[in-house]
Amino acid sequence: MIQKLKFKPKSRVREFIGEKLIALNAFAALIAILLIFAFVFKEAVPVFTDSYIQEDASFDKLIFQQEYYEGRPAKWSWQPNSEAPKYSLYPLFLGTLKAALIAMLFAIPLGVGAAIYASEFASRRLREIIKPAIETLAAIPSVVLGFFALMILATVLQETLGLTFRLNALNAGIALGLAVIPIVFTVAEDAMTSVPRSLRDAATALGANPWQVSLTTVLPAAMPGIAAGVVLGFGRAVGETMIVLMASGNAAIISASFLDSVRTFSATIAAELAEVVFGSTHYTVLFMIGSLLFVFTFLINLGGDVILARLKERLQGRIG
């Protein structure tokens, strides 16, 4: 007969507490996002409810042109610190858009192009140089990219193009594009390399050469992934702060030229939050801008994730 050992009975209480503790922590991300939502929006709500604040910054005053001076035509203007404070969001919106567009114009050809090369043309050796290089680019802190744009890129642009404003949308946009390239590259390259081998083999077996396989099979199949990369990159471009803060000139002007200085939503918050009085109109509007940024990037990222999820389903459906 085998003698039984005296085992310590398991503590159900400890298991229960342990599990609940882990679960509680697991909800941290969820609670965090809800709290961010709540607390940022909370400080912005007075735009809709507080009549004092609405004198200068009611919601339609933020959006539409206002007749700030009698007799002068209505216009948009962002001048929170002047005697007659003006809170139009349009100049900031335009600035954000300009910088982001330039960033995408720069990042999409480079990012997608490099991804296509890495996925479809490059040898294994080359790929092992390209991917770490992109990861290195991704690792550069945005403040360093802003520094580079401010000190070096601005001078180069000004001298080659003969610009009036040293810091402008183009300058910030290019640096922003550098920050976005890794996102576009990673998502697009991932999508292309995830195209099932069986699809490529099928095309090859029908006589297609490698480029034809890429063009006719891989690129179409990965297109949603490439699109998702672009969408997520755009989200990053819109939300990025330090680069535009340092390199865009921070002038809230309305112009069609990409060579003028701009001011983006994020840079506005960063530049002005330090000096506002807690609870003032300016403070409230800054939080309003923050809420808009939050909603906008939330929607963009949601869109990007949805596209990626659907792409994954499609690709997996084809194999299975």
**Binding to another protein in span 172-191, by CB under 8 A:** 178, 181
Task: Centre a 10 Å sphere on the Cβ of residue 100 and count the other Cβ atoms it contains.
Answer: 26
Bridge partners of residue 86, in order along the sequence: 79
Residue 159, SS3 per DSSP: helix
Contact in structure between 249 and 173 (CB atoms under 8 Å): no
Q: Which is nearer to another protein, 32 or 74 (CB)?
A: 32
Two tokens, residue 173: 């946009």
Smallest gap from residue 67 Cβ to another protein (A): 31
User: Is residue 305 near another protein by the rule CB under 8 A?
Assistant: yes
Sites for another protein among residues 34-53 (CB under 8 A): 34-36, 39-40, 42-43
Bridge partners, 159 (sequence order): none
Residues 228-287 that bind another protein (CB under 8 A): 232, 235, 238-242, 245-246, 266, 269-270, 273-274, 278, 286-287
CA pair distance 180, 229, nearest whole angstrom: 10
Among 76, 147, 165, 234, binds another protein (CB under 8 A): 147
| Residue 205 in the binding site for another protein (CB under 8 A) | no
Q: Does 130 engage in binding with another protein (CB under 8 A)? A: yes
**Residues 120, 84: Cα–Cα separation, whole Å:** 59
What is the smallest separation between the CB atom of 20 and another protein, expressed in angstroms?
Answer: 10
Shortest Å, Cβ 159 to another protein = 15
Write down the least CB distance from residue 58 to another protein, Å.
21
Q: Residue 196, interface with another protein (CB under 8 A)?
A: no
Q: Which residues from 276-295 bind another protein, rule CB under 8 A? A: 278, 286-287, 290, 293-294
Say how far apart CA 300 and CA 292 lie, in whole Å: 12
Using CB under 8 A, pick the residue from 53, 92, 100, 118 that binds another protein.
118
CB 204 within 8 A of CB 105: no
Spell out where the chain has E strands: 78-79, 86-87
SS3 assignment, position 146: helix
